[in-house]
Structure 1
Amino acid sequence: MDFKEKRLFVTVGTTQFSKLIETIQQDEILYKLSSMGFKEIQFQVGTGKYEQKEHQVLKLKYTPFFDDFLGEVTKSDLVISHAGAGTCLEVLHTGKPLIVVINEDLMDNHQSELAEQLQSDEYLYFCTCNELVETLDKNLKSLRKYPKPNKQNFSNYLNKCMGFA
């Protein structure tokens, strides 16, 4: 049994995704998170409109934006995020487990394609707001670590193209 007090970081990026905030504030989700050992939820709420809630067991904190986004990710045990490519990749590079929630209200939602591929590669789980409680039941420890970037790839490719390699 893991008795460590866990911290969840929820981020919607720089946009509005109030539906994600409202979904996580639902009693069913908060109960589930509490039963998983979470004691604190830090919401990064962007520019959306939402009602701040309080909870008897969980400490709920709300902030529009963070100067040290990666610091917030690093001190968390799980990240639940919108499907923005930059956010997904930043979180995956930290090695933290990630659940991506698709914003179904977006037109031409290309973000779902990225989330589907990253789930297919077993780096994260993705869902909609309506599927979040079921997704929380998945084995987060089975997710693969995202590979570190090879910073030499581009220069190697360029050298090959120029005939230097």
Structure 2
Amino acid sequence: MTGSVVDSEKEQKMVFVTVGTTCFDALVKSVDSQHVRNELKKRGYTSVLIQMGRGSYIPSKSCGEEDCLIVDYFNFSPSIADYLRSASLIISHAGSGSIFETLRLRKPLIVVVNEDLMDNHQSELAEELADRKHLFCATPQTLGQTIQTMDLDSLLPFQSGDAIPVIKLINKFLGFPAE
């Protein structure tokens, strides 16, 4: 045999990237950068699937090398649940729906904050959950560094039945006094 058995048994590790229904070209461009692709490849990821939303930036599907990440993309899907379930790592915009759906599945998550949004309350949620070690938080500019330094074993499972921490965060955001 010529190694085809070994090749077919190689573990496939897919990264799913989602921007939701908005336009977040900065995130797609960051994932498409050679730096981020190299860091993902170093971590053993084999493919990247990007849900681009309303974005106009088209990522490159090839990198010109035989041993590179397989990249594919689409704009919208009626549901991203299957993609989330099959992913080894999720890179997401800071939408609360995407964040909590991923945390419920206990998948490693990097939330990338869109710094161009006005009054970005999403960043506060992402940063709070990162402080609690449920996910990693990055910007498009720091995504490569976050991938390089992330320790997936340091993440703590999110207990979805406990709404108190979320309520406290919302109250803090709204300016209500802490109890």
Same fold, TM exceeding 0.5?
Answer: yes
Are the equivalent residues in 1 in contact too, given 2:28–2:59 (CA < 8 A)? no
RMSD over aligned CA atoms reads 1.5
* Aligned residue type for 2:139: T
1:18 aligns with 2:19: no
* Structure 1 runs of 4+ with >4 Å offset: none
1:79 aligns with 2:86: no
1:142 aligns with 2:154: yes
Deviation at 1:144, TM superposition (A): 0.6
* Aligned residue number for residue 128 of structure 2: 117
* Aligned residue type for 2:153: K
Unaligned runs of 5+ in 1: 152-165
Give secondary structure in 2 for the equivalent of 1:130.
coil
* Aligned residue number for residue 6 of structure 2: none
Residue identity (%): 38
Are the equivalent residues in 1 in contact too, given 2:29–2:59 (CA < 8 A)? no
2-side partners of 1:72 and 1:66: how far apart? Answer: 10
* 1:53-77 deviation per Cα after TM superposition (whole angstroms, max 9, x unaligned): 0223111111111223111000000
Unaligned runs of 5+ in 2: 1-9, 164-179
Pairs aligned (count): 149
* Aligned residue number for residue 16 of structure 2: 9
2-side partners of 1:52 and 1:26: how far apart? Answer: 9
Give secondary structure in 1 for the equivalent of 2:142.
helix
Which residue of the other structure, out of 40, 45, 48, is the alignment partner of 1:41?
48
Deviation at 1:150, TM superposition (A): 6.7
Which residue of the other structure, out of 73, 94, 111, is the alignment partner of 1:100?
111
Are the equivalent residues in 1 in contact too, given 2:89–2:109 (CA < 8 A)? yes
2-side partners of 1:127 and 1:138: how far apart? Answer: 11
* 1:5-60 deviation per Cα after TM superposition (whole angstroms, max 9, x unaligned): 21000000010001100011011111111111111100000011112302231111
Deviation at 1:133, TM superposition (A): 1.3
